[in-house]
Amino acid sequence: SGCVFTDDVVTGGKPNIIYTGVDYGHASIDLATPDDDALINWTKSPSNPIIAGRPDGLSDDFRDPYFFRNGDNAYIIVGSSRNGVGTTTLHRFNPDSRTWSADGLFFTGSSASQDGRFWEMPNITPMDNGRWLFTATPLETSTGVRTIYWTGTVGNDGRFTPAANFRTGKNVELNARDGFGLLSPTIYRHDGKTIAIGIVPDKLSGENNWNLGWAHCYSLPREWSLDASGELVQKPYSGLTGMRSDNMYQRNDFDLN
């Protein structure tokens, strides 16, 4: 797991993949580059691992890297756990040595029951008016599996500070009765819009998923914005109107089961 990103300084404007590499249970962060512009074949970097492992004091569960830039500085955040509570590590890019730092914390939850034991798929997204949106999918909370978010600021040191009214994380959306909500959203900035899709759990058994050959599905894309208080606002992505046609179907006096 990881992400694809481009950056003029780090990747020379070409797509790169950063991903979680595992060697007999030891996790590291690794890099792959495209062999050509078709992006079909990729080569693992001879410099792997670019981050050899978790910083001291954190769980061995260390994965799901995500790239972001704040001004002149480029960073990677990685999901982990500290003292049994979800956290994210922070790794800064050195353009002179072209290496990543191996220590530092980006943001940590308040408690395991509230914010989870481990944070999967952390993501940090610049929004409007200098605000940032941080999302993560926590494991082993007291209320099921769902994506939570905070809004706040990113300082000159790269660390995230939640806004005063975001001392605790909020649900990205309403949860199902058994505690499931949208999982692990992929967030993309395009033409001034913040567009997100996420995993919708099918809640089938592992045996059924195996027989089907797939598990879960993706949501339709939606546009995200923040209101004046920093709360997340969602609506269907405007580009979905291109899927509509003038065809209509009408039927009266029937039961929908």
Average pLDDT over residues 182-198: 90
Average pLDDT over residues 180-199: 89
| Mean pLDDT in residue range 206-219 | 92
Helix H or strand E encompassing 69: strand 63-70
242 pLDDT band (50/70/90 cuts)?
confident
110: closest CA among 173, 162, 179, 176?
162
Higher pLDDT, 256 or 169: 169
What mean pLDDT value characterizes the chain?
A: 90
| pLDDT tens digits for range 55-105 | 888 888 899 999 999 999 999 999 999 998 889 999 999 999 999 998 889
**Is-contact 102 118, C-beta < 8 A?**
no
Percentage of the chain beyond pLDDT 90 is 60
Distance CA 231, CA 178 (A): 24
In the chain, alpha helices (H): 112-115, 206-212
Alpha carbons 96 and 104: distance in angstroms, whole number? 20
Cis check: omega of the bond before 95, within 30 degrees of 0: no
